[in-house]
Amino acid sequence: MNTALEAYFAARIYSGGRALRRTTFRHVHLADPPLAIAMWRLGGERFRAAALAWGPLDGPFQLAVPGEPRNRDLYFAALEPFAVDLCARIRRVAASRVARQRGSVTEHIPADALQIVVPNKTTVNALGLLGRYLAYLSDRGGVAPHPALIEAGKHLRFYARNARVPGQALLVPLDRLVADHWATLLSPFEQANLAALDAQIEPGPGRHPFAASAAAEAAARIGPEPTEDIDRVTGSLLSEFNAHRGTSTDPTVTEPLAGPLREHYRDLIEPVWQLMNRVVARELQLTAAPSVYRRFESDRAAFGRHVDWVVNQGGHYRTTDTPRQAAITLRRLEDSLARYEADQAVEDPACMIGHLLDGDAVRGTVASLTETKVVVNVRRVPRAVIALDSPDPVTLPAGKELWWTATASGEPWEVQSLQHTSTGSRVFLILTARPTPARLPAVGDVITLSTLCTGHSHPWPMPPADPPWTHRPDTPLTEPEPIDSGDSEQPAAPVDAAAAEDPGRYT
């Protein structure tokens, strides 16, 4: 992120009184409507959802509140409707397939994919943890959990892991969507609050965005992490619920008792649901960038592979990557990031500004276009040379490869030389391929060339399947215990701090 551009944005927003768009296009696919999920956890209980709301964003949400999420029976009973509904939606969407031709291979990928939106990146992580918990449940104690819970766990785990792919649109954290498309006065830490971001964009009449976002941040209650005041209310309602139910997990007893907790969470989620609705509606108004369709096609293909593996083949995912999987994933993610950044800048002039300021790109007027011959592998071949007049002090070194934005997936131009002029710089570039009309700008055209290429990256060979000795431990790792082991144990009796003996450890 270029600091000069950020400073410019900050000054303009400060004087103009509202946030500014960073982009002229929307660079992420948005379904209309997507499935939305909002979630709350208990303080300190990372793997359990104390409340989970879901549903198409243009309608009312359904709410799952187990009452006591640390009780396995109550927890599973409350999550079951969500799990069943999620699995059904995913299966339904994945059922309709279209053919995709890639070279000589024909694939059948889903015609659509279920898109999930959540208020923030923290919810993505929370759903990943919930999925991890549910996906590996055992039938410990002879009671098998509902199969939909396990399948939903696998789906959530897939969605959360896929959310790492730059530019993906299967699981969209809205705070990230807004922060990527809008410049605001908020720090990266403050941008994690969707209400504060929204207030910067629409601060309300007569309000400065700073005041509006400060007020929104103070008033907003967005999960999944409870603040202390929410946790206090939850704790009190939870104690009451547990006191009245005793040890009962009978729905006829617990359902009515969970009413106050349900209302408590409904009140918290209502405004978040409206906020998400407003944010998605606003972003939907912006035209999608041309590459959005291609990226969502990749998402659909990944979604289809996942459903084939989990639903059709009953497959499991490893809990952790092998060194080989991690190495491959890292490389794929880095390739995706490079491609996503290139797509954004090449398609969207507003996204190119930072690259121009960083010296990764040059913009200017084509002053001349000449043909020449150069020797390549002992043959003289034709090449085109352009002189580009830029008003900026260009510092690109000779030999640097640049792609014209109009042919960014094609052949690069190479910087031949540079002249500093009284009005800026003149850059001489040679096309590294045979000149054809489609590859050449016209004299007088104002063009942009950058280091960003939207073509396919060089294929890289897969690492060997067998890890080398350096990546195998001397002693094999021990098998981990089941993820739900300990669930049936009685919790330790509470300790009265006043009566506890001082162990003297810190004295």
Which positions lie near another protein, rule CB under 8 A?
A: 2-4, 7, 164, 166, 320-327, 329-331, 333-334, 337, 357-360, 393, 395, 420, 460-464, 467-474, 477
How many alpha carbons lie under 13 Å from residue 9 in its C-beta half-sphere?
Answer: 22
Q: How far is the CB of 68 from another protein (least distance, A)?
A: 28
Q: How far is the CB of 410 from another protein (least distance, A)?
A: 18
Nearer to another protein, 380 or 471 (CB): 471
Nearer to another protein, 297 or 358 (CB): 358
3-class secondary structure per residue, 258-322: CHHHHHHHHHHHHHHHHHHHHHHHHHHCCCECCHHHHHHHHHHHHHHHHHHHHHHCCCCCCCCCC
Asked if 152 and 87 touch (Cβ cutoff 8 Å), the reply is yes
Give CA–CA dist 213/175, Å, rounded: 14
Check the CA dihedral 456-461-466-472 and report its sign: negative
Nearer to another protein, 326 or 446 (CB): 326
3-class secondary structure per residue, 83-130: HHHHHHHHHHHHHCEEEEEECCEEEEEECCCCCEEECCHHHHHHHHHH
Contacts of 305-311 with CB under 8 Å at 24 or more apart are 306/155, 306/158, 306/162, 307/90, 307/91, 307/94, 307/110, 310/151, 310/154, 310/155, 310/158, 311/90, 311/91, 311/94, 311/151
**H-run or E-run covering 384:** strand 379-390
- Alpha-helical (H) ranges within 359-506 are none
Q: How far is the CB of 475 from another protein (least distance, A)?
A: 9
Give CA–CA dist 431/402, Å, rounded: 9
Q: How far is the CB of 360 from another protein (least distance, A)?
A: 8
Say which DSSP state 405 is in: G
Q: Count of CB atoms within 10 A of residue 318's CB?
A: 7
Nearer to another protein, 28 or 51 (CB): 28
Instruction: Determine the residue type at 323.
Output: P
Q: How far is the CB of 133 from another protein (least distance, A)?
A: 18
Give CA–CA dist 184/363, Å, rounded: 27
Q: How far is the CB of 425 from another protein (least distance, A)?
A: 9
Angle at the Cα of 304 from the Cα atoms of 303 and 310, rounded to 5 degrees:
90
Q: State both tokens at 42.
A: 């208990």
Nearer to another protein, 297 or 335 (CB): 335
Nearer to another protein, 57 or 124 (CB): 124
Look at residues 296, 253, 270, 246 and name the one whose alpha carbon lies nearest to residue 113.
Answer: 296
Q: How far is the CB of 38 from another protein (least distance, A)?
A: 22
Nearer to another protein, 148 or 156 (CB): 156
Residues forming beta bridges with residue 105, ordered by sequence position: 102
Nearer to another protein, 4 or 144 (CB): 4
Nearer to another protein, 8 or 309 (CB): 8
Q: How far is the CB of 424 from another protein (least distance, A)?
A: 11
Nearer to another protein, 425 or 448 (CB): 425
Nearer to another protein, 393 or 486 (CB): 393
Q: How far is the CB of 462 from another protein (least distance, A)?
A: 8
Q: How far is the CB of 255 from another protein (least distance, A)?
A: 39
Give CA–CA dist 168/396, Å, rounded: 32
Q: How far is the CB of 236 from another protein (least distance, A)?
A: 29
CA distances for 95 relative to 90, 150, 304, 405, angstroms: 9, 20, 9, 38
Rg (CA), the chain: 28
